[in-house]
Structure formats: C-alpha cells, structure tokens
Amino acid sequence: MSSDDYLQVNRTNWDSRVPVHLRGYAIEPLLADPDRLSDVVAFDRPLLGDLTGLDVVHLQCHLGTDTLSLARLGGRVTGVDLSGASLAEARSIASRAGAEVDYVESDVYAAPDMLGDHRFDLVYTGIGAICWLPSIRRWAETVARLLRPGGRLVIRDAHPVLLACLAMPVGGEHPDRVQQPGITAPGGSTPALELPYFEQSAPMVWEDEDSYAGEGTIAQPRSMEWNHGLGEIVTAVLDAGMELTSLAEHDSVPWDALPGLMVLDPQTGEHRLRDRPERLPASFSLTARGR
C-alpha cells in the first residue's frame, strides 16, 4: 500500500471510531459541568494559560472535547479534523454545551489554505495526533503558517520512545540483574523497542478492530501511522522559523498504551508503567513561539 493512500485510509478509520468513542469519551460529565475541562486540557492548562480573547486553532480535534475545553478557557476556537463524522459530533457537543466553536473539515497540511487568511494566537495539538502524519517537517511548516507573529504552539503528544515500544515477555536472565535487581526477570513482561523510532518514508499499517477508548468493533480497522523522533520534532519546529520555548517529558499518557504493563491514576486519568515508571518517557510537551 502506498503512503499516498493515508488520507483516505485514516479518514475512514476515524469515521469508524466515532460510535465507539462516543461511548468511551467522558462527554456527559463534560456537558453537565460548564466549568469542567477534559483531562487532556486540564493536564496542559499550565502551558495554555488564560486564553481570553485569543484566536485558537485546534488541529486534529476529533470529537471536540478538548476543543470545547479550550473555549471554556476563553479562546475563540476553531477545530480542524479530516473526519467529517467526528466533526458532526463535535458540532453537536458544542451546541449542547452552548459554546461557539467553529469546525473545519480538512487534513492538517491543507488547513492554512482551508482557513484562508485567518491566523492564530495559539496553535494547539492534543495528544495522539502527529503519529497520523507522514512528515513532521510539513507539520511544523503548517503550524508556522497558521501562527501570527509572536503566536504560540502548544503540543503534548505520545513520546516517540513509547510509540516504538511493545509489551514483550522476557525469556532469559540478564547478567546485570545481579547488580540491578529491578531488571525484569525471566517470565515477566517489559517495554521493548520493536517499532521504528525515527520517521520512515513507509507507514506502519495496522488492522485493529479495537480502539483506545470505548467498547465495540471499528468497522474500518485499517490505519497508517508514522513515528517521529524527538530530535526530528524539535529540529522541524526550529527549521520552520519558530523559537522553542519549552520541552518536557512525562512518565504518563492518557490511555493504556502498553496493556498489562500500565496502571491508571484515577486522579488525572493518566496511565504509567506499574513497575519503575521512571524508565519510560510516555509523553512530551513542547511549546514554541512564531516569529
């Protein structure tokens, strides 16, 4: 399969996720409390600050729960997504919440053209987004085009180390376990680097009928993904003319990324390794400023 097919494949995959995610996302609690934020935006809030009066664009917004949360922080928010089925539900959720949010159907790279001359004070990309894009350089160039001079980028996403890992059984004894008894013993499971860390031209093609949120079968299970190394992400941001203002790594992520190895923190909705979480960067936050 050619990587040129990725837009159609991923669009229909995310259309198919909508009925599953409507059951898995915490939509009703969000609607019941006008002051409530999604767990994702609550985690990112220290980086976001007061958005009152700012023009905000949320790329790859899906059902718009995070987009609604950005509006509740005071922003004039536009959500962008390639999935028309997702945006139909996002519009419904915003309407039920009494929030004014604009939604535009577009893939990320086409967003500046679809949005015309509109430029933004903040470009926000929530977690679980950039793995669906084949080129991190094109993503950064797109962000730079969307920002006003001095505007900000805020992104938190899955760490590329996590995305390169699978939960794997340990078959043999490692000699260093004598000195470091925390090393996983034979018979246990551990994160193993089995998938690409650096961006590749060819996508990873998956056939997964289950999703990270909600119960049910995804009617179109095929998707196409790319990992992007942390250095590649930072370099792309700098090469696009933005100024890097912060970079942090976290030991948690908002979904059970390594089933059997992670535990949920009910206070934050975040998952981290049950055993020695300090060994795995699970997500990262990056902020930058346009010039």
Strand 101-105 to 189-193 pairing = unpaired
- Is it the case that residue 50 has pLDDT exceeding 80? yes
- Is it the case that residue 3 has pLDDT exceeding 70? no
Contact criterion met (CB below 8 Å) for 284 and 251: no
Hey, which residues does 192 pair with through a beta bridge? 166
The C-alpha atoms of residue 77 and residue 54 are separated, in whole angstroms, by 8
The tokens for 270 are: 């975040």
Judged by DSSP in three states, 178 sits in helix
Please give the C-alpha separations between residue 242 and each of 158, 188, 248, 286, in angstroms, as whole numbers: 21, 44, 17, 12
Contact criterion met (CB below 8 Å) for 48 and 154: yes
Q: Which one-letter amino acid corresponds to residue 90?
A: A
Q: What is the pLDDT of residue 215?
A: 85
Third-level CATH fold of 3-164+196-289: Rossmann fold (3.40.50)
Q: Give the residue carrying structure tokens 């995610």.
A: 21
What tens digit of pLDDT does each residue of 65-91 get? 999 999 999 999 999 999 999 999 999
What tens digit of pLDDT does each residue of 104-113 get? 999 999 999 9
Q: Give the residue carrying structure tokens 């203002």.
A: 245
What tens digit of pLDDT does each residue of 234-289 get? 999 999 999 999 999 999 999 999 999 999 999 899 999 999 999 999 999 999 99
What tens digit of pLDDT does each residue of 200-236 get? 999 999 999 999 988 889 999 999 999 999 999 999 9
Q: Where do the structural domains in the chain lie, given as residue ranges?
A: 3-164+196-289
What tens digit of pLDDT does each residue of 15-30 get? 999 999 999 898 999 9
Mean pLDDT, the chain, as a whole number? Answer: 96
Q: What is the pLDDT of residue 252?
A: 98
Number of H helices, E strands in the chain: 9, 13
Q: What is the pLDDT of residue 213?
A: 87
Q: What is the pLDDT of residue 1?
A: 46
Q: Provide, rounded to the nearest whole percent, the portion of the chain with pLDDT above 90.
A: 94
